[in-house]
Amino acid sequence: MTSLIDRLSPEGRNAPESGIVEVFNAGWGRDDLIPLWAGEGDLPTPEFICRSAKQSLDRGETFYTYQRGIPQLREALADYHKDLYGKDFSPERFYVTGSGMQSIQLAVQAVAGAGKEVIVPSPAWPNITAAVEVHGARAVPVAMREEDNGWQLHLDDIEATITPDTTAIFLNSPCNPTGWVANLDLLKEVLNLARRHKLWIIADEIYALFYYGEGSRAPSFYDIAEEHDQIIFVNSMSKNWAMTGWRIGWISAPPVLGQVFENLIQYSTSGVPSFSQWGAVAALRQGREFLEAQVARARAGRDCLLKGFQDIDRVRVLPPEGAFYLFFSIDGVTDTRQFALDLVRQTGVGLAPGTAFGMGGENYLRLCYARRQDHLEEAVRRISAWLPAI
Amino acid sequence: MTSLIDRLSPEGRNAPESGIVEVFNAGWGRDDLIPLWAGEGDLPTPEFICRSAKQSLDRGETFYTYQRGIPQLREALADYHKDLYGKDFSPERFYVTGSGMQSIQLAVQAVAGAGKEVIVPSPAWPNITAAVEVHGARAVPVAMREEDNGWQLHLDDIEATITPDTTAIFLNSPCNPTGWVANLDLLKEVLNLARRHKLWIIADEIYALFYYGEGSRAPSFYDIAEEHDQIIFVNSMSKNWAMTGWRIGWISAPPVLGQVFENLIQYSTSGVPSFSQWGAVAALRQGREFLEAQVARARAGRDCLLKGFQDIDRVRVLPPEGAFYLFFSIDGVTDTRQFALDLVRQTGVGLAPGTAFGMGGENYLRLCYARRQDHLEEAVRRISAWLPAI
């Protein structure tokens, strides 16, 4: 049967299997599983959000709708951004998508065709690289390094990677998996670099609110960019409002690109269900309290784990500044893929192996702490008890 | 602002605007509008389908789920196909997607990368060509011709179009917009041609049940293909069960391609909401009666229009064998784009101009008849009354 596979396009055939799924498959179905491998909390979507979607279904809103998203959601997005960034936003710059993932896919389609290059600081969420390469472009990693004061991205390293084929820099801050957060100075430098080279920035600030520094959110390109800078923001309803399963995201980009994104949406999925979008409207309009509780819960999870890991000598971890992952290493563990497989099989604790996150991530493990504290404590206990055996 | 557009990838920048939207924009919002331009009926989704989705929301099924679709939906699809085609299907060959459109996108991604060619009989639904070209491949039209006994597709014309870059033949039967249906002999010839040249077939049989010939469905590649033929079937929940707004489709393809489609889904939208999928399960399991009523309604709409158009001398129309569109021409009308704009502005009847459907469609107008009969009758009256004026 390999012959059928051989007849596929190289882009299709070579799309990589997720490096997390293998571990998932090794542990899935265990009664005592503590699944900390995915970027997903353990709370279902709040009832007020589900109710809004159900009411839309009851109104019979089951027809084709606007490719750019229903006006009510685009207005709610504009208001949400105004609250968050303290300036006005036009609803015309927001395009509703079928997930943060699709936002990335569409952004890449828009700015990086076959043969082009997108610079991606690494370690990185693996789907970014895959989304670039499935379109025949090349994701060029820039190594980030863990130094004593945390992960660092150096502007020189980005600049050295630019070639005539480079069309975009993908910047994810706060970062999945490292928890790194770009400060405002770095964002300014990256923006200036991009302006100088006429490059696009794809700004993934999905975890903006999950921020443990000063202020209520991470520094953002919105703080420094002009309306018509070449920045495409990709975002998602998933993390803030416990809506991972809803598959709704958005793009924020200069309104002049509206027709292009409408076309790209038309030819990929042709829009997002109206009733799901009404769920998103409720989340944005009435979800502030829930969102604050989500962030507080993640912060508590983070603190609980940092404290627990302090007592395990072999664990090396720095406090993440943002997002909701610990990205840690263990003395003596070099094959993190095998470690993650063994750990889940023997203890039921599911972690994502660093090998899934590309260059520079190989020696790490990723743990999602947006979860119940007793489960996190139990995970630390099991890891601590099992480590001496390996 | 054109400079921003100039900096996009050619694939992104050149994705065409839908040729139907312009007419839509000219008429949208009129009180007396009769919108027959889209491929969509006028009934909302049946309550039993909505209820199933709402119950899933109530169960808290709002988390990430299987990239290939929930097992219950894949099993329901296998059973539905067994009923329809009278043989066994493995759930393993079905992959749930975020619309028929996404099924096409994924199929094209899988088989036709940059520089490759996909043969598309024309006139055709414009999104097929756009989906091919947005991935850097080329859609090569093969002219179909309207002869006295209906539209014809000649195998010789397909064969003459094959080049070393050809990787697939896209066959949509029953056809949107023409209503043409491939007979079993032609399907066999196309399959043999594809086998001989080791080409993929992308089989769009979305309108299989909307068939006005002998038997309860149109002839299908399922009637003649082997399990491991190079055929990727693309399909959708939209038309059969009045679920256009739900954005759920499926791919049916040899199970050996499962991991490839899982990866491509992962890197485009990362799956379809569980709760929507439960709506689809209800549609497949309990939707037979509704589906039969949908088909009967379309047949009645077709008959009503054919009868009404008989009395308008200038209208040239042959009875469509399948799907739910009339694709007709009017003596003296050569600029169908302008005609459709004028018609909707002056009478409120919304038709899709044939210019939107590519080579060979320019002189036609497309009308969707899966609608209320009194609206269809009123549309005929208005067209009939207005025609003498032009």
pLDDT in tens, B13-31: 988 888 888 888 888 889 9
The pLDDT of residue B217: 98
Residues in chain A within 8 Å Cβ distance of B136:
113-114, 135-136
Q: Inform me whether the C-beta atom of residue A15 falls under 8 Å from chain B C-beta atoms.
A: yes
What are the sequence ranges of the domains in chain B? 2-45+289-383, 63-286
Per-residue tokens: B29: 């919002």
Q: Residue B4's closest CA among A379, A255, A236, A388?
A: A255
The pLDDT of residue B174: 98
> Hey, what long-range contacts does B142-149 have (CB within 8 A, 24 or more apart)?
B143/B359, B143/B360, B144/B178, B144/B180, B144/B360, B145/B360, B146/B178, B146/B318
Distance from CA of B388 to the nearest CA of A (A): 34
Instruction: Tell me the H-state helices in chain B.
Output: 2-6, 10-13, 21-27, 47-58, 71-85, 100-111, 126-133, 155-161, 184-197, 258-266, 274-286, 288-310, 336-347, 373-386
Domain B63-286 has CATH 1.10.390.10: no
Residues in chain A within 8 Å Cβ distance of B57:
45, 50, 53-54
The pLDDT of residue B19: 84
Which of B11, B13, B45, B63 should one mutate to test binding to chain A, selecting the residue with the greatest count of A CBs within 10 A? Answer: B63
Residues in chain B within 8 Å Cβ distance of A262:
17
Q: CB under 8 Å to A295, separation ≥6 — which residues? A: A209, A210, A211
**Residue A324 half-sphere exposure, CB side, CA atoms within 13 Å?**
29
Instruction: Tell me whether the omega of the peptide bond preceding residue B177 falls within 30 degrees of 0, making it cis.
Output: yes
ipTM of the complex: 0.96
- Measured distance CA(A150)–CA(A82) in Å, rounded: 31
B7 to A274: CB separation less than 8 angstroms, yes or no: no
Q: Confirm if B328 and B123 have CB atoms less than 8 A apart.
A: no
* SS3 readout for A229-244: CCEEEEEECCCCCCCH
Q: Inform me whether the C-beta atom of residue B6 falls under 8 Å from chain A C-beta atoms.
A: no
Q: Residue A183's closest CA among A353, A29, A321?
A: A321
Per-residue tokens: A239: 């993390």
Q: Residue B279's closest CA among A281, A274, A57, A97?
A: A57
A266 to B130: CB separation less than 8 angstroms, yes or no: yes
Architecture per CATH, A2-45+289-389? Alpha-Beta Complex (3.90)
In the predicted model, is pLDDT for residue A1 greater than 80? no
Q: Confirm if A203 and A218 have CB atoms less than 8 A apart.
A: no
Q: Residue B367's closest CA among B320, B334, B307?
A: B320
Residue B365: its H or E element: strand B365-368
Q: Inform me whether the C-beta atom of residue B29 falls under 8 Å from chain A C-beta atoms.
A: no
- Measured distance CA(A288)–CA(A69) in Å, rounded: 22
In the predicted model, is pLDDT for residue A390 greater than 90? no
- In this prediction, the residues of chain B whose per-residue pLDDT falls under 70 are 1-2
Give Cα A224 to chain centroid, integer Å: 22
Phi, psi of B253 (to 5 degrees): -155, 160
* SS3 readout for A172-193: ECCCCCCCCCCCHHHHHHHHHH
Q: Confirm if B172 and B233 have CB atoms less than 8 A apart.
A: no
- Measured distance CA(B48)–CA(A297) in Å, rounded: 38
Residues in chain B within 8 Å Cβ distance of A15:
260, 263-264, 266-267
In the predicted model, is pLDDT for residue A293 greater than 60? yes
Among candidates B44, B50, B230 on the partner chain, residue whose Cβ is nearest the Cβ of A7 = B230
First to last CA, chain B: 40
- Measured distance CA(A267)–CA(B132) in Å, rounded: 9
Global pTM value = 0.97
- Measured distance CA(A65)–CA(A68) in Å, rounded: 9
Q: Going by DSSP bridges, is the β-strand pair A94-97/B166-172 parallel, antiparallel, or unpaired? A: unpaired
CA distances from B74 to A128, B3, B45, B77, B144 (A): 28, 47, 21, 5, 35
Architecture per CATH, B2-45+289-383? Alpha-Beta Complex (3.90)
The pLDDT of residue A20: 87
Residues in chain A within 8 Å Cβ distance of B256:
1, 4-5
**Range list of β-strands (E), chain A:** 34-35, 94-97, 117-122, 138-143, 145-147, 150-152, 166-172, 200-204, 231-236, 249-252, 315-316, 325-330, 349-350, 352-353, 364-368
Mean pLDDT, residues A307-332: 96
CA distances from B161 to A100, B104, B118, B182, B202 (A): 39, 21, 10, 19, 16
Q: What is the DSSP string of A337-358?
A: HHHHHHHHHHH-EE-EEGGGG-
Q: Which residue do the tokens 């060619």 mark? A: B117
Q: Confirm if A133 and A11 have CB atoms less than 8 A apart.
A: yes
In the predicted model, is pLDDT for residue A2 greater than 70? no
First to last CA, chain A: 40
Q: Confirm if A73 and A209 have CB atoms less than 8 A apart.
A: no
Q: Sheet with B315-316: list strands edge to edge.
A: B315-316, B325-330, B365-368, B352-353
- Measured distance CA(A143)–CA(B82) in Å, rounded: 52
Q: Which residues of B142-177 are buried (b: 16+ CB within 10 A; e: fewer)?
A: bebebeeebbebeeebbeebbeeebbbbbbbbbbbb
pLDDT tens, A149-202?
A: 899 999 999 999 999 999 999 999 999 999 999 999 999 999 999 999 999 999
Residue A79: its H or E element: helix A71-85
Q: Inform me whether the C-beta atom of residue B53 falls under 8 Å from chain A C-beta atoms.
A: yes
Q: Which residue do the tokens 């491929």 mark? A: B39
A60-287 CATH: 3.40.640.10
Q: Confirm if B300 and B373 have CB atoms less than 8 A apart.
A: yes
Which of B269, B272, B276 should one mutate to test binding to chain A, selecting the residue with the greatest count of A CBs within 10 A? Answer: B269
Residue A292: its H or E element: helix A288-310
Collapse the DSSP code of A137 into the 3-class scheme (helix H, G, I; strand E, B; otherwise coil) and give the result.
coil
Q: Confirm if A298 and A369 have CB atoms less than 8 A apart.
A: yes
- For chain A, positions 276-315, list CB contacts with chain B under 8 A: 276
Q: By 3-state DSSP, what share of chain A in percent is helix, strand and coil, each rounded to 5?
A: 45, 15, 40
**Range list of β-strands (E), A36-86:** none
- For chain A, positions 171-230, list CB contacts with chain B under 8 A: 198, 200, 228, 230
The number of beta carbons lying within 10 Å of the beta carbon of residue A91 is: 18
Residues in chain A within 8 Å Cβ distance of B13:
260
Q: Inform me whether the C-beta atom of residue B90 falls under 8 Å from chain A C-beta atoms.
A: no
- Measured distance CA(B289)–CA(B282) in Å, rounded: 12
User: B383: which DSSP letter?
Assistant: H
- Measured distance CA(A169)–CA(B20) in Å, rounded: 36
Angle at the Cα of A49 (from A48 to A52), degrees rounded to 5? 85
Q: Residue A74's closest CA among A97, A100, A92?
A: A92
How much is the mean pLDDT over chain A?
96
Q: What is the DSSP string of B108-174?
A: HHHH--TT-EEEEEES--HHHHHHHHTTT-EEEEEE-EEETTEEE--HHHHHHH--TTEEEEEEESS
- For chain A, positions 131-170, list CB contacts with chain B under 8 A: 131, 134-136, 167
pLDDT tens, A45-59?
A: 999 999 999 999 999
- Measured distance CA(A277)–CA(A263) in Å, rounded: 19
Q: Is B44 left (phi over 0), alpha (psi -120 to 50) or beta?
A: beta
Q: Which residue do the tokens 């900390």 mark? A: A36
Q: Going by DSSP bridges, is the β-strand pair B200-204/A94-97 parallel, antiparallel, or unpaired? A: unpaired
The pLDDT of residue B385: 96
Q: CB under 8 Å to A306, separation ≥6 — which residues? A: A317, A319, A326
User: A322: which DSSP letter?
Assistant: B
The pLDDT of residue A382: 98
In the predicted model, is pLDDT for residue A5 greater than 70? yes
Per-residue tokens: B125: 């639904």
Residues in chain B within 8 Å Cβ distance of A45:
57, 60, 62
Residues in chain A within 8 Å Cβ distance of B40:
63-64
Residues in chain B within 8 Å Cβ distance of A17:
259, 262-263
Mean pLDDT, residues A242-271: 97
